Amino acid sequence: MAGLELLSDQGYRVDGRRAGELRKIQARMGVFAQADGSAYIEQGNTKALAVVYGPHEIRGSRSRALPDRALVNCQYSSATFSTGERKRRPHGDRKSCEMGLQLRQTFEAAILTQLHPRSQIDIYVQVLQADGGTYAACVNAATLAVLDAGIPMRDFVCACSAGFVDGTALADLSHVEEAAGGPQLALALLPASGQIALLEMDARLHEDHLEWVLEAAAQAARDVHTLLDRVVRQHVHEASIMLGD
Amino acid sequence: MLKSKTFLKKTRTGGVLKIVREHYLRDDIGCGAPGCAECGGAHGGPALEPQPQDQASSLWPRPHYLLPDTNVLLHQIDVLEDPAIRNVIVLQTVLQEVRNRSAPVYKRIRDVTNNQEKHFYTFTNEHHRETYVEQEQGENANDRNDRAIRVAAKWYNEHLKKMSAENQLQVVFITNDRKNKEKAVEEGIPAFTCEEYIKSLTANPELIDRLACLSEEGNEIESGKIIFSEHLALSKLQQGIKSGVYLQGTFRASRENYLEATVWIHGDTEDNKEIIVQGLKHLNRAVHEDVVAVELLPKSQWVAPSSVVLQDEGQNEDDVEREEEREHMLKTAINEKMLKPTGRVVGIIKRNWRPYCGMLSKSDIKESRRHLFTPADKRIPRIRIETRQASALEGRRIIVAIDGWPRNSRYPNGHFVKNLGDVGEKETETEVLLLEHDVPHQPFSQAVLSFLPKMPWSITENDMKNREDLRHLCVCSVDPPGCTDIDDALHCRELKNGNLEVGVHIADVSHFIRPGNALDQESARRGTTVYLCEKRIDMVPELLSSNLCSLRCDVDRLAFSCIWEMSHNAEILKTRFTKSVINSKASLTYAEAQMRIDSATMNDDITTSLRGLNKLAKILKKGRIEKGALTLSSPEVRFHMDSETHDPIDLQTKELRETNSMVEEFMLLANISVAKKIHEEFSEHALLRKHPAPPPSNYEILVKAAKSKNLEIKTDTAKSLADSLDRAESPAFPYLNTLLRILATRCMMQAVYFCSGMDNDFHHYGLASPIYTHFTSPIRRYADIIVHRLLAVAIGADCTYPELTDKHKLADICKNLNFRHKMAQYAQRASVAFHTQLFFKSKGIVSEEAYILFVRKNAIVVLIPKYGLEGTVFFEEKDKPKPQLIYDDETPSLKVEGMEFHVFDKVKVKIMLDSSNLQHQKIRMALVEPQIPGISVPDEISNVDVNEPEEKRRKLKK
């Protein structure tokens, strides 16, 4: 058996997308009433839930408080049923810790933390179903949740992954494409300014190709922004109707 | 933009894992027909013709496109590749199935699809909104795919109707599956089997022969009798091999005896390395080179390899009984000791069939359409093919592919692929020898050519990045006359500090051939340019080899330069490498360069440069020989071709001038410098070339032969060998030294490419260099391209890529290169042999002086210096009384009827062409002097009939 052909001669990917196309994105804000902010996102078969509490007083040890800005605390976990094989530990493993750290870095760059000194913002993200691009889905969900909580941000943070196959950059990799073992890059972008909040890649990729892959990821992130913006407007619109009653 | 409207899930359960995949359906996939308003031409690349006219099928006279199913593609690719078949829609479903089932066919179909003239279009039906079908409950994958193909065919027909109702364009579905065809017809899709359709193409009757005969009905003429036992299933074989009941090995048929073969067992078990398989039933339809599973027979049934020569001559299918008689013949005179492990083939693990060259043996029945084909390689069984053009194919070389070998058939079934031309024709024979030596020689495909630079080509600003401008230097090239692929040029000038600057400039092929593209892959596959007597099989397309990469004079060319600063004593003071642009001032031949150096009147820049080079080269050569480099000799000949007929008219041994060795010396120096550099930079994955020292036993012949002439040859080191060869002179016998050197060449091992990370012995024995590589001929050797890339990365002039620094990939490349080089060498020799035959055919029988090179038990091998021709004189022949032969292994010598032969003895032989076997013509030699009654033939000025030397000689002997 020959392996899967990731990109056909006609330019179609395994699931029928073209190189630069995203998977179908659906999102909803304000899914939980108790939390300050919450959101749910589906990017193809990758599904993530984000919940935000805060800003509130520092919990636990007071010494952690920062004098000039808010502390961003991120926790990532993925459901035991999120992958094909059942996972043993839903959170606390190295991968989850790393993901939490990356999310924290991303949001420290995006949230205007200096507005809330000596306080704390908690972001909890859970992946319900993983089909590639979990980091991107988490970031996008968390952005919506933070917006829902009304915490001031510089801009949306929109994330997307990109890979490189046969000389072509592919946007928004699915699990099959990730599993094929090529290089994969994750990018979190502040679309208005074009600033990069986080860029992560742990494979070997030639310097000459980096530019294309980066551009593919950035374009995809801008596309994500268009969609998220629509979701937020829709949500606000609905909320204002409710208030109007 | 996300265009998907429907969103479906495709679930695939395998084991306990449940994999959920998205499957997007689109509405922007074009149908491939140009001018289709609905799709708006939403497809780039090759497309169908708007009005397919030329395929006049009597079954479907209206214009149509073809839509084959998977099996048609898999089995009838030979037909589909024919230029007459155009406008074919290849569905994604079909392509994926082909991809999973046969990689070679997949590659071929991709090549065809990329060919603009074929008008093949790949339709991505699995992602089209209207042609996607879901697997139904209880439907297996095959049925689902068949249905998907039918749905696509139906969609096409409706779609094309919408496009333009009046020209009645339709697709015709081609399938060999009866049920599928019936269903298609029910659904209103015009469907035919491949055979029906091809037969209906009245304009192209020759296509029928290219059909693979797979149809069950085709075999009805075979007697229903089952000859062979069934092959076991693969799973059973694997089980058996694991448990040790069966052994896996490569099947090697015997050249002499078609009823016998050996199986080389894979693995390390020392005892049963080789198993004999004897008899038609035990051979059980295995073909040479197949990987088979064998079962050992009980010891009581073991046999000894027979010495009988048997050729398969049967024309009839039914004479299996006679075969059994013959098999009994093999078992005569069995010596207990000679018994070897014997087995029988129980199953085939992997067929290694390829298209075979050979000739048609026409059936005795005049009207018969079934004929037997006799391959040129005697190890391949005869193949039954079906053709209507038997009389046209008689006396021609043809190519035939095997389709299958049913249990009830004495011979495998095959189909005709290609007609190469008349036997004995130069083009035909060249083609045959290229095919038999597996030399890829097809014209470069469109995909490969698409990576060539666009003409007119000029050096751009971008090319100059990381490149030095050396156009002001007085560079010139020195090559053999008529050379169009000039890959090296030289310069030499005096520096202000009194030292000399010497530069070797090599064509920068790696600038044009970028890693990983089709052009690169094709060159890597070819590995080397093959030079035949009157033809050159290029490794890279001609535009590069003879134009853009060729360092011709008076044009700007990109080069890779290796520049040394040397003292006047040829000591290297500094070495540097750089990519450059040069402008060669002169393309000289060896003779012209020699003339310039020798003439006292010429004192221009080029000449002084050449003199400087020549001076340095002499010092370098001396130094190299002192270190123990060998100067060996091989009788190389060149044919003088008739300019009109291109027939060889005369032979000439190659002349060596000072300038030859001048160029060679600097190439060696460049290679060594580069080898050092890349090994320093990439200790794990440098591509190098080594020449292992031969084991002492190899030299035995040489030492013994020299001893018989009272000379001593020392072989403990390369240095002592070189020295003793230099001393071995005999004033009475000036040719002796050359003969000794020729013999020494035969003792050597083959030099090979290897990856530095996979080996730790780098020594090059022949050149007495601790490290060596190939850098100087990138136009004709792929190894040099890799070395160029490595060096470019090492000096920061180019970027690296993952495969370059993967030592396993590099080792694979080396393996292929070594194989291709070996094959190229064999092909070259075969070409020389063929031209020698042509030469002697025109020349008639001649007698020449020769020297004995080797003495064998029943023959002597002689060398004729005048032609550089080597041949064997046999003293034993079929149907004749054996002469008295006494062989002495020590001296070595052979006594024939009281006449003793030693190595290096001078004899006189008669040379003639033996064309008794049309497929295998050869040069035959017979002894003239010294005269031995009953053995030697009289010397006569002969104008005898060349075509029947056999007859002639028999008459003489009476």
> Taking CA atoms, what residue in A is nearest to B127?
A16
A5-27 pLDDT per residue, tens: 888 888 899 888 999 999 999 99
Residues in contact with B88: Cβ distance below 8 Å, sequence separation at least 6, in sequence order: B65, B66, B67, B68, B80, B118, B119, B120, B121
DSSP A153: B
Please report, to the nearest 10 degrees, the dihedral formed by the alpha carbons of residues B623, B624, B630, B635 taken in order. -90
**Nearest C-alpha in A relative to B123:** A10
pLDDT at B684: 85
Nearest to B124 among A12, A84, A167 (CB): A12
Higher pLDDT, B148 or B455: B148
Residue B729 has pLDDT above 80, yes or no: no
Backbone phi, then psi, for A55, in 5-degree steps? -70, 140
- Cβ distance of A176 and B21 shorter than 8 Å: yes
Residue B439 lies in a domain: no
Answer yes or no: is pLDDT of B547 > 50: yes
Q: How far is CA B950 from the centre of its chain?
A: 34
What are residue A117's phi and psi, to 5 degrees?
A: -70, 155
Query: Tokens for B831?
Result: 């070409």
Q: Which residue range forms the structural domain that includes residue B381?
A: 219-423
**Extended beta strands in B637-768, E state:** 637-641, 648-653, 687-690, 752-755
Domain match, B500 and B591 both: yes
Contact: A15, B23; criterion CB under 8 Å: yes
Residue B550 lies in a domain: yes
Residues in chain A closer than 8 A to B23 (CB atoms): 15-16
Question: Shortest Cα distance from B548 to chain A (angstroms)?
Answer: 26
For residues A192-220, give the mean pLDDT. 91
Using 50, 70 and 90 to split pLDDT, how confident is the model at B695?
A: confident
What's the whole-number mean pLDDT along residues A198-208? 87
Q: Which residues of B touch A (CB under 8 A)?
A: 1-4, 7, 17-26, 43, 45, 92, 96, 99-100, 103, 106, 110, 113, 122, 124, 126-127, 516, 799-802
CB atoms within 10 A of CB B787: 29
Q: Decide if A5 and B122 are in contact by the 8 Å CB cutoff.
A: no
Clarify whether residues B744 and B654 are in a common domain. no
Please determine, for residue B660, whether its predicted confidence score (pLDDT) is greater than 90: no
Calculate how close chain A gets to B413, using CA atoms only, in Å.
27
Q: Distance (Å) from the C-alpha of residue B112 to the closest C-alpha of chain A?
A: 13
Q: Chain A residue closest to B6 (CA)?
A: A24
ipTM passes above 0.85? yes
Q: Are residues B126 and A9, on separate chains, in Cβ contact within 8 Å?
A: no
Beta strands in B227-303 (DSSP E): 246-253, 260-265, 274-278, 291-296
Residues B308 and B391 in one domain: yes
Q: Per-residue confidence at B715, pLDDT binned at 50, 70, 90? A: confident
Nearest to A10 among B2, B122, B516 (CB): B122
What HEC string does B822-840 produce? HHHHHHHHHHHHHHHHHHH
B787 CA: distance to closest CA in chain A (Å)? 20
**pLDDT of B95 higher than 50:** yes
Confidence (pTM) = 0.65
Q: At A183, phi and psi to the nearest 5?
A: -70, 145
Chain B residues with CB-CB distance to A8 below 8 A: 92, 122, 124
Q: Are residues B226 and B202 in the same domain?
A: no
- Whether residue B654 sits in one domain with residue B564: yes
| CB–CB contact B22 A8 (8 Å) | no
Say yes or no: B478 and B602 in one domain.
yes
Closest approach of chain B CAs to the CA of A141, in angstroms? Answer: 20
Instruction: Please list, in sequence order, all residues whose beta carbon lies within 8 angstroms of the beta carbon of residue B331, skipping any fewer than 6 positions away.
Output: B303, B306
Contact flag A9-B122 (C-beta cutoff 8 Å): yes
Angle at which helix B92-101 crosses helix B103-114, to 10 degrees, equals 140
Nearest chain A residue to B801 by CA: give it: A206
Cα gap B47→B61, rounded to integer Å: 22
Bigger pLDDT: B391 vs B527? B527
In this predicted structure, what is the pLDDT of residue B325? 60
Task: Name which of B806, B800, B803 is nearest B788 in CA terms.
Answer: B800
d(CA A73, CA A78): 17
Looking at residue A219, its pLDDT comes to 95
Residues B143 and B226 in one domain: no
β-bridge mates for residue B386, sequence order? B370
Contact B100 A2 (CB under 8 A): yes
Query: In this structure, is residue B513 part of a structural domain?
Result: yes
For B802, which of A5, A22, A204 is closest by C-beta distance?
A: A204
B861-896 per-position pLDDT tens digit: 888 877 777 777 877 665 566 677 777 767 777 777
Q: How many CB atoms lie within 10 A of CB B724?
A: 18
Q: Is the pLDDT of residue A46 over 90?
A: yes
Closest partner CB to B24 (pick from A2, A15, A204): A15
Residue to substitute from A8, A25, A43, A205, interface B, most B β-carbons within 10 A: A8
The answer on pLDDT for A169 being more than 90 is yes
The reported pLDDT for the residue numbered A103 is: 95
State the nearest Cα–Cα gap between A200 and chain B, in angstroms.
20
Chain A nearest-CA distance from B34, in A, is 16
Cβ pair B24:A204 closer than 8 A = no
Read off the pLDDT of each residue in B452-481 and give the average, rounded to a whole number.
85
Q: Which residues of B touch A14 (CB under 8 A)?
A: 21
- B519 or B386, higher pLDDT: B519
Strands (E) located in chain A: 25-29, 37-43, 46-57, 71-78, 119-129, 158-165, 168-171, 184-190, 195-201
Write out chain B residues lying below 8 Å of A176, CB-based.
21
Q: Do B1 and A10 touch (CB under 8 A)?
A: no
The answer to whether residue B626 sits within a structural domain is: no
Q: B479 and B461 share a domain?
A: yes
Tally of domains in chain B: 5
Which among A2, A16, A208 is the nearest to B24, CB-wise?
A16
| A chain contacts of residue B799, beta-carbon cutoff 8 Å | 206-208
> What residues does B894 pair with on adjacent strands?
B887, B901
CA B354 to chain centre: 12
- pLDDT at site B637: 59
Closest Cβ opposite residue A16 in set B25, B100, B110: B25
Residue A110: strand, helix, or coil: helix
How far is Cα B30 from Cα B28, in angstroms, rounded to an integer?
6
- Local confidence band at B106 (pLDDT 50, 70, 90 cut-offs): confident
By C-alpha distance, the chain B residue nearest A19 is B1
Per-residue pLDDT reduced to its tens digit, B730-745: 777 777 777 888 888 8
Q: How far is A233 from chain B (nearest CA, A)?
A: 20
Helix (H) or strand (E) holding B861: strand B859-864
Task: Report the candidate in B721, B423, B466, B239 with the shortest Cα–Cα distance to residue B713.
Answer: B721
Pick the last residue of a domain from B211, B232, B264.
Answer: B211
- Exposure string (b/e) for A25-41, b if CB count within 10 Å is 16 or more? bebbbbbeeebbbbbbb
Residue B853 forms part of a structural domain:
yes
**Which one is predicted more confidently, A99 or B9?**
A99
Tell me how far the alpha carbon of residue A227 is from its chain's centroid: 14
Among candidates A5, A16, A44 on the partner chain, residue whose Cβ is nearest the Cβ of B127: A16
Verify whether the Cβ–Cβ distance B21 to A44 is below 8 Å.
Answer: no
For residues B488 and B505, the answer to whether their CB atoms sit within 8 Å is yes
Q: How far apart are the first and last CA of chain A?
A: 62
Does B339 share its domain with B368? Answer: yes
Q: Would you state the pLDDT for residue B952? A: 37
Q: What is the pLDDT of residues B783-821, one digit of tens each?
A: 999 999 999 998 888 888 878 888 888 888 999 999 999
Percentage of residues in chain B having pLDDT higher than 70 = 83
Contact, B502 vs B494, CB < 8 A?
Answer: no
Nearest C-alpha of chain A: how many angstroms from B113?
A: 10
CATH number of the A25-243 domain: 3.30.230.70
> Scanning every residue of chain B, which has its alpha carbon at the shortest distance from the alpha carbon of A223?
B1
Would you state the pLDDT for residue B662? 87
Q: Are B576 and B502 in contact (CB under 8 A)?
A: no
Question: Residue A111 is encoded by which pair of tokens?
Answer: 């949230």
In contact, B183 and B79? CB cutoff 8 Å: no
Token code pair at residue B610? 């050449």
* Rounded Cα–Cα distance for residues B280 and B282 (Å): 6
Distance CA B42, CA B39 (A): 6
Average pLDDT value for residue range B60-78: 86
Angle at B315 between CA B309 and CA B317, to 5 degrees: 110
CB contact under 8 A, A24 and B122: no
Beta carbons of B419 and B344 less than 8 angstroms apart = no
pLDDT on residue A137: 96
B627 in any annotated domain: no
Across B434-452, average pLDDT: 84
Q: How many residues does chain B have?
A: 958
Confidence of residue B217 (pLDDT cuts 50, 70, 90): very low
Looking at residue B322, its pLDDT comes to 57
Single-letter residue type at A92: G
Among A125-139, B121-135, B538-552, B841-855, which range has the highest average pLDDT? Answer: A125-139
3-state secondary structure at position B377: coil
Cβ pair A73, A121 in contact under 8 A = yes
B110/A9 Cβ within 8 A = yes
Tell how far CA B791 is from the center of its chain: 29
Instruction: Determine what percent of chain B is predicted with pLDDT higher than 90.
Output: 9
What band does B364 get if pLDDT is binned at 50, 70 and 90?
A: low
- Show residues of chain A in contact with B21, CB under 8 Å: 14-15, 45, 174, 176
pLDDT at B6: 46
Residues of A in contact with B19 (CB under 8 A): 84
Cβ–Cβ gap A9/B103 under 8 Å? no
Token couple for B448? 């490969």
Q: Which residue has the higher pLDDT, B333 or A226?
A: A226
Gap between the Cα atoms of B207 and B601, Å rounded: 68
Residues B320 and B452 in one domain: no
Q: Are residues B189 and B269 in the same domain?
A: no
Identity of the residue in A17, A85, A208 whose CB atom sits nearest the CB atom of B17 = A85
In a domain, B438, yes or no: no
* Residues B283 and B191 placed together within one structural domain of the fold: no
Specify the pLDDT at position B149: 92
Picking from B22, B43, B124, the nearest residue to A44 by CB comes out as: B22
Compute the count of residue pairs across chains A and B with CB atoms less than 8 Å apart.
67
pLDDT class of A155 with cuts at 50, 70, 90: very high
Top pLDDT among B299 and B544 is at: B544
| Segment holding B90, helix H or strand E | strand B88-91
CA dist B938 and B931 (Å) reads: 8
Tokens of B841: 């055919």
Position B432 in a domain: no
- Consecutive H or E run containing B463: none
User: Is pLDDT at B321 greater than 60 in this prediction?
Assistant: no
